[in-house]
Amino acid sequence: MEYKDYYTVLGVERSASADEIKKAYRKLVRQYHPDVSKHKDADAKTKEINEAYDVLGDAEKRAAYDELGRGYRPGQEFRPPPDWGSQFDVNGAEGSDFFADLFAHVGRRGRAGGAGMGGMGGGFRMAGEDIHAGIAIDLRDAYQGATRNVTLRVPERNAAGRTVTRDKTLSVTIPKGVTPGQQLRLGGQGQPGIGGGPAGDLYLEVQLNPDPRYRTEGAHVYENVPVTPWEAALGASISVPTPSGPVEVTVPPGSQSGRKLRLKGRGIPAAQPGDLYLILDVVLPPASSDRARELYQAMARDLAFNPRDRIGA
């Protein structure tokens, strides 16, 4: 694995004080916050910044990182020493491979496992941490349900008693009717507990892959439907492809671009099913032939039509 320079990530000197590190972190968090940042890679950058601060913002982890990383350069192949990290607990799984392998041991603060918590003596039990991650699916999967593989890097004790990480692949069945932002819970798939404590849970936040044909808002789905001027003006029955298959739709006469036709219950089939909105988009045929130009000229001559009436022109 490649060595990561967390000091460079946060833009601080290796000698920076805890306060300087915190200030640099806050500045970068504001700069790359996905809600306000215009950077294309704001999400990835935010993860990187959080990972760096998770280490440098914790005195114990920072000391361990400094000790291990002495002499390494960013991108250089990195191997932790063989006796590294034999006695610590595990960390969350949101960081990079480098982070997971290096700091599987120094550990975030664990949680007490209810009645089992009895100080650091013999009765010590601790529940494993929950893991939070995202899972991206297509809109069609939200309509039909899907199965997706999720790979997590999890800690494990090897034969020598050392904590090492390995990839664990879960085949996750996603029920139909999920909407963006909803959370799937997979009980017991988080980090393992300590001293017989229960494992944490895995939470997957559902995200939809962008689709040029459809837009969503909660369970409602929006689709632009091109129509000809005569279909819009005279009304027509047209076939429209939708996420749940083609449907026959009646275009009312006198329709204009932007008119919304609601197909009730044909949005994402959530507990409260969404609606599908077809937004009409009147497309003009090109005046690219003599005959087409003649027809446009006939309309100009025969139709007393001024679309700028309403703006006083």
- Strand ranges, E, within the chain: 111-112, 126-127, 131-137, 146-157, 163-174, 183-186, 202-208, 214-217, 220-227, 236-240, 247-251, 260-263, 276-282
Q: Considering only residues 250-309, where is the footprint of another protein by CB under 8 A?
A: 271, 279
157-165, 214-222, 248-256, 305-313 -> range binding another protein (CB under 8 A): 214-222
- The residue type of 107 is G
Q: Measured from the CB atom, is 10 or 68 closer to another protein?
A: 10
- Does 185 bind another protein (CB under 8 A)? Our answer is yes
- Can you tell me which of 8, 17, 158, 183 binds another protein, judged by CB under 8 A? 183
Q: Is 76 left (phi over 0), alpha (psi -120 to 50) or beta?
A: beta
Q: Measured from the CB atom, is 68 or 104 closer to another protein?
A: 104
- Does 174 bind another protein (CB under 8 A)? Our answer is yes
- Does 195 bind another protein (CB under 8 A)? Our answer is no
61-69, 116-124, 172-180, 291-299 -> range binding another protein (CB under 8 A): 172-180
- Can you tell me which of 168, 213, 262, 293 binds another protein, judged by CB under 8 A? 168
- Does 26 bind another protein (CB under 8 A)? Our answer is yes
| Residue with token string 């002499």 | 71
Q: Output the smallest distance, CB 220 to another protein, in A.
A: 8
CA distance 267 to 269: 6
Q: Output the smallest distance, CB 203 to another protein, in A.
A: 6
28-36, 66-74, 83-91, 297-305 -> range binding another protein (CB under 8 A): 28-36
- Does 201 bind another protein (CB under 8 A)? Our answer is yes
Burial 213-230 (b: 16+ CB within 10 A, else e): ebbbeebbbbbebebeee
Q: Quick one: CA dihedral 242, 244, 247, 250, positive or negative?
A: negative
CA distance 68 to 154: 21
Residues 45-84: x where in contact with another protein by CB under 8 A, - otherwise, as a string: ----------------------------------------
**Residues of the chain by 3-state class (helix, strand, coil), percent to 5:** 25, 25, 45
Locate 93 and state its tokens: 């799984």
The residues with which 187 forms a beta bridge, in sequence order, are none
CA distance 77 to 17: 28
Q: Measured from the CB atom, is 183 or 250 closer to another protein?
A: 183
2-10, 11-19, 80-88, 103-111 -> range binding another protein (CB under 8 A): 103-111
- Does 167 bind another protein (CB under 8 A)? Our answer is yes
Q: How many CB atoms lie within 10 A of CB 291?
A: 9
CA distance 4 to 7: 9
- Does 224 bind another protein (CB under 8 A)? Our answer is yes
Binding residues for another protein (CB under 8 A): 25-26, 29, 35-36, 108-109, 111, 127, 129-130, 132, 149, 167-175, 177-178, 181-187, 189, 200-201, 203-205, 215-217, 220, 222, 224, 271, 279
